[in-house]
Structure 1
Amino acid sequence: MSFIDWIILLGTLAFIVGFGIYKTRGNKSVADYLKGGNQANWWTIGLSVMATQASAITFLSTPGQAFHSGMGFVQFYFGLPIAMVIICLVFIPLYHKLKVFTAYEYLESRFDLKTRTLTAIFFLIQRGLAAGITIFAPSIILSAVLGWNLIYLNVIIGILVVVYTVSGGTKAVSITQKQQMAVIFGGMFIAFLLILNLLPLDVGFGNAVEIAGVNDKMKVLDFSFDLNNRYTVWTGLIGGTFLMLSYFGTDQSQVQRYLSGKSVRESQMGMIMNGLLKVPMQFFILFIGIMVFVFYQFSSSPLNFNPAAEADVLNSEFAAEYLDLQAEKEILEKDKETLHLQFIDANEGAKEALAVQLRELNTEEVALRDRAKELIRSANPQAETNDKDYVFIHFILNNLPIGLIGLLLAAILSAAMSSTASELNALGSTTAIDLYKRNRPGRDDKHYLNMSKWFTLLWGIIAILVACVANLFENLIELVNIIGSIFYGNILGVFLLAFFIKFVKSQATFIAAIITQIIVVVIWYLDKIDFINLPYLWLNAIGCILVMGIAAILQSSTSHSKQ
């Protein structure tokens, strides 16, 4: 990185942290600290909600997901608009009416303290792990690509977030997220324009889309019921709706964003804004990955985008075999480039034959990459061969001009900070309100304000520690969603019982929630060891349906036994 890139990167991050501290100094009450004094406008809420969900993982992993697998991942978000409507009609009015600080307060009034505490603990476990991953994700990738020390990166990112989150609370999170989203969107849009500019002169935008299509990257919709496919219209609409309802309706990191709204209407408009913009935003980020794929049809790309993995094999006894694969790939790349240029100029009749040849070459390239992964694993069984998370950062560092590298890295780290700040803010408030204040009532407001800050700091330290001991596996954006899916369905089911199934009481709900969580973890483990085959998104629906069904059965059996 050049000196100019460093100036842009450090200057951007310093401005965001300093601005957040300056604008939110002097919180005087728990309400100011945890709900921002209920001063947030709808666009602040909308941007804050989007920034909370759009972590660095989104901007690092999603383009790589599209590079390898195409546009199908966008189906994951198809349930989001449906969830936004339900949340606006049911969740937001109820939360505002009860004037709660956290979502879990409501569960005590409907059920009892132990049910409230259990759901809060479920949230703290999954969100505490996720907070560590949102720090770890950019750290391990930047560490591998730039050679920076991984532990130092985890600590630096964590400390930057903790400083303004602890000092300013919810308002600091919301204010800084507006600046962070500006950096993120600005950086991604510039990257998109530069990718198009870097394509050969005779390859226009329409040609690029056509090339992506002929390489099977533009397939958005999959209506199949194949359980081997994680992303279909049905998993998005059904499993995705349950996940989004759980995340936006019961996860305190999101609930806290719209609890800070001036009114019910402002909160609802902010969530509708998220519902309208989130799917197009994810489509755009995936499309950037598709354009990176098109770029590499005319430029050389590594056999594996993870430089640490390549270094392992090139420094081993398998180096000669790996270099032979690279030589094969270079020949294949020249053939693909020639065919793509012929494809652009060909008539419709000739294009079909060329398309068949291009698909055959793609199959050969995938085989070469798979053989490269085998060599890497032979050289180092612990090496991370799944390189989806490294594709976009490789493109940035090797192809963007001086200055824009710093801007894109600032965008990635801003995303990490925005998401982590929301998580720490929510973890601190849930611990302070649902666990500490509820079990140690009677103290003055200043005491609970100070404890909220201390708990936020504590969770910041825990998140940094989780980041420092985490291990990268699969695709990071999938990892975060897998962790959420294990817990979210159960939590959502408890809330739906509270909202709509009035005959079910606290004891049945509490027992059902524990049984359901055990079953969901077992199902996930059986899928992980390939004993069964179930896309993780279905865990949300299964958890929700299970807890509601078990609770209803337990309540009915209890009622009958008393008669």
Structure 2
Amino acid sequence: MTFSTLDWTIVLVFIAANLVMGWFLGRGVKTAKEFNIGSGKTPWWAIGVSVIATYISALSFLGAPAWAYSDGLAALAIHLNYPIVILGVTAFFLPFFYNSGVASIYEYQERRFGPTSRAVMSTIFLVTQGLSTGAILYATALVLQFITGIPIPWAIVAITILALIYTTMGGMLAVIWTDVFQAAVLFGGAIVIMIALFVLMPEPIGEVLANLKAAGRLSAIDLTPDPTVPTTIWSGLIGMTLFHVTVYGANQMMVQRTLGAKSIGDAKKSYLLMGYAAFPIYFLFFFIGVLAWGYYQGRPFENTNDIILQFALDSGIPGLLGILAAAVLAASMSTLSSAFNSMATASVVDFYERYFRKGASDAHYLAATRIMTLVWGAIIIVPAILYANSTGSILEVLSKIGSYFVGAKLGMYGLGFFSRHTTERGLLVGVFVGFVVIWAVATRTDIAWPWYCLIGGGATMGVGWIASRLLSGKQADWSPYSIPGQRARFEASGAPTSIDGWSTVPGRIDPRSLWLVVYLAATIAGLIALEALV
């Protein structure tokens, strides 16, 4: 294997461009607010691309093809739900957070329930984000180890340092604009890989597709009503819809960049971009895995996450290894920078500023946030090294890990939005019982992990409501931070209920967002037609 001068040039130019952008954007950051959410002048499309690039990480670039290599397009069902997810998030979550002017979305929990629930929610975020970021670091280190021979621990440290440099300099502005650049590199690299697979296929592509269909690799719609199968249409459209609602609606890393949008309409449009772009992007990654199965004729791999790397090596195309390395670095660094920035923000705003140094200067909090960015970079190296023992799809592994925690998030926000009688004491009882239920389901049953969010969230909400009634009794009025409470507040204050055609009231669906439902139906029909027409 030879990582040529051309390959090194591609990678080094990519790294240099990111560092220069971080330095340039960092010159204008003067306050903690600018570091946390940006300048308030960032265009919506850039925020939207940043949202996409943050979630479509190296896990997707390596893990999605690995997953499809094992299970075919059936695994794509997990990602069909984004139109419904974005519809719900833009209607219920974004207006709450954008209107409040907060830097940490978990401040909502304190306003709705109390300080303990805010600390619990922020802690859950920090733990889950630390684990997922560690997986992303490992995925990227795997690439560098594969193509250069650098030991994985050293590669993890090197990647962390690169991402920390420009994130610490530029904050959220650097995160967003480097994400835009990295997204172009990432998707460009994926398209090059797919074209190369088509061109270099050992048999005519028609025969390959026919063989893939015969092997069941092109079947994306599994109607089996079996809760032990993780990739059915039902787990995708029900269980994983709730999972992804918490990922995009109750996740500091995803929401934080929209808080610096010019208007509520821009914040919603940035998310709508994800609603439309997610399916073709994931289809691209999963289809690459299916084509790779045809290229290698189902040959087993010791580590399926190496498949795309092995293809780049086997193809012999000059510069393809460099393009692939830059694409994976782009995917990883876009997510790492967002994770470091959001975890530092939550740590300072939810804990340091609230419990340790109240009333300090803005310059102090800016310095504290930069220091916490470095601290989290150092901490995340540990789980990244531990992931080196994983040989299955890292995307699937991470999804399973996340499924243990999303039920608590779903329950806490569900009760906050829609329950009059839930109080903090009852809520915390519900969260504890929800975790116990998920542990029991995961260890004592064969129910597939996409259903854990529904089960955990249902347990949290049911027990939380009952415990609240027993411990605190009935509540006479709706909280002003519930959906009915917000509607009453808007009516009483006479505040505008829409700006430029976009609703400012939580709980109202924007008419133009309803096209997402049509889009979802079209994607399902397209997948059925793909298998039928081959």
**Paired position in structure 1 for 2:18:** 16
Amino acid at match of 1:113: P
**Cα distance between partner residues in 1 of 2:143 and 2:186:** 18
Partner of 2:498: none
Residue 38 of structure 1: aligned partner: 40
Superposition deviation, residue 281 in structure 1: 0.8
Number of the residue aligned with 1:511 = 429
Deviations 1:262-292 (A, max 9, x none): 1111111111110111011101111111122
Q: Which runs of 5+ in 1 are unaligned?
A: 307-386
Tell me whether 1:203 sits opposite 2:204 in the alignment.
Answer: yes
TM normalised by structure 1 equals 0.81
Alignment of 1:138-217 (within 5 A): 138-144=140-146, 146-200=148-202, 203-204=204-205, 206-217=206-217
Could you report, residue by residue, the CA deviation over 1:7-64 in whole angstroms, capped at 9, with x for unpaired residues?
1112112212222221232311111000102222221121111111111111111112
1:430 equivalenced with 2:346 (yes/no) = yes
Answer yes or no: is the 8 Å Cα contact 1:145–1:394 preserved in 2: no
- Alignment check: 8 A CA contact 2:135 2:383 kept: yes
| 1:559–1:429 Cα change, 3 Å | closer
Give the structure 1 partner of residue 480 of structure 2. none
Cα distance in 1 between the residues matched to 2:458 and 2:227:
19
Q: Structure 1 residue aligned with 2:330, among 392, 395, 414? A: 414
1:256/1:484 Cα in 2 relative to 1: closer, same or farther (>3 Å)?
A: same
- Provide structure 2 residue ranges, at least 5 long, that are not aligned to the other structure: 477-534
Partner residue, 2:262: 262
C-alpha distance in 2 between matches for 1:186 and 1:145: 20
SS in 2 for 1:38: coil
The TM-score with structure 2 as length reference comes to 0.85
1:139 partner letter: A
Would you say 1:549 and 2:462 are equivalent positions?
Answer: yes
Amino acid across the alignment from 2:36:
L
Task: Tell me the equivalent position of 2:226.
Answer: 226
Distance 1:210 1:169 in 2: 49
Q: For 2:82 and 2:183, locate their aligned partners in 1 and report how far apart those are by CA, in whole Å.
A: 20
Rounded to whole Å, the distance in 2 between the matches of 1:134 and 1:199 is 30
The equivalences for 1:307-322 within 5 A come to none
Distance in 2 (alpha carbons) for counterparts of 1:110 and 1:396: 52
State the identity %.
30
Distance 1:145 1:15, change over 3 A: closer
User: Hey, what's the Cα distance between the residues in 2 that align with 1:183 and 1:114?
Assistant: 42
Cα distance in 2 for residues equivalent to 1:41 and 1:107: 29
Aligned equivalents of 1:453 and 1:195: distance in 2?
43
- How far, CA to CA, are the matches of 2:262 and 2:120 in structure 1? 30
SS at match of 1:212: helix
Mapped to 2, the partners of 1:287 and 1:138 lie a distance apart of: 21
Look up the match of 1:462. Answer: 379
Matched, 1:480 2:398: yes
Task: Judge conservation of contact 1:70–1:219 (CA < 8 Å) in 2.
Answer: yes
Shift of 1:144: 4.6
Larger radius of gyration: 1
Matched AA of 1:556: R
CA-CA distance at 1:523 after TM superposition: 2.9
Matched residue, 1:540: 453
Count how many residue pairs are aligned between Structure 1 and Structure 2: 472
Residue number in structure 1 paired with 2:301: 305
CA distance in 2, matches of 1:394, 1:142: 13
Partner of 1:247: 247
C-alpha separation between the residues in 1 aligned to 2:438 and 2:167?
33
CA distance in 1, matches of 2:385, 2:343: 19
Name the SS for the 1:101 alignment partner: coil
Residues 273, 562 of structure 1: CA spacing in aligned structure 2 closer, same or farther, 3 A cutoff? Answer: closer
1:453, 1:271 → 2: CA distance?
27
- Supply the distance in 1 between the matched residues of 2:474 and 2:54 (Cα, whole angstroms): 47
Distance 2:436 2:360 in 1: 37
Does structure 1 retain, via aligned residues, the 8 Å contact 2:38–2:257? Answer: no
Q: Note the C-alpha offset of 1:237.
A: 0.8
Alignment-mate amino acid for residue 25 of structure 1: R
**Local SS of the residue matching 1:220:** coil
Q: Which of residues 71, 80, 83 is equivalent to 1:81?
A: 83
- 1:241 offset after TM fit, Å? 0.9
Please list the CA deviations of residues 386-423 of structure 1 after superposition, one character each: whole Å capped at 9, or x if unmatched.
x2211111111121411121011110111111111111
- Partner residue of 1:323? none
Deviations 1:105-127 (A, max 9, x none): 11111111011001111111111
Aligned to 2:438: 520
2:505 is matched with which residue? none
Contact 1:194 1:400 in 2 (8 A): no
> In structure 2, do the counterparts of structure 1 residues 471 and 84 end up closer, same or farther at CA, with 3 Å as the change threshold?
same
Q: Show the 5 A alignment for 1:46-57.
A: 46-57=48-59
**Per the alignment, in what secondary structure is the counterpart of residue 537 of structure 1?**
helix
2:501 — aligned with what?
Answer: none
Distance in 2, matches of 1:446 and 1:141, equals: 39
Per the TM alignment, residue 295 of structure 1 is displaced from its structure 2 partner at its CA by 1.9
Mark the CA change 1:124 to 1:203 in structure 2 (over 3 Å): closer, same or farther: same
Which shows bigger deviation, 136-145 or 475-484? 136-145
Contact 2:141 / 2:152 at 8 angstroms: preserved in 1?
Answer: yes
Residue 332 of structure 1 corresponds to which residue in structure 2?
none
Letter in 2 for 1:246: T
Is 1:494–1:509's contact at 8 Å kept on the other side of the alignment?
yes
The 3-state SS of whatever aligns with 2:265 is helix
1:521 deviation in Å?
3.2
Counterpart contact for 2:425–2:471, Cα < 8 Å: no
* Deviations 1:443-468, CA, capped at 9 Å, x for gaps: 11111111111111110111123223
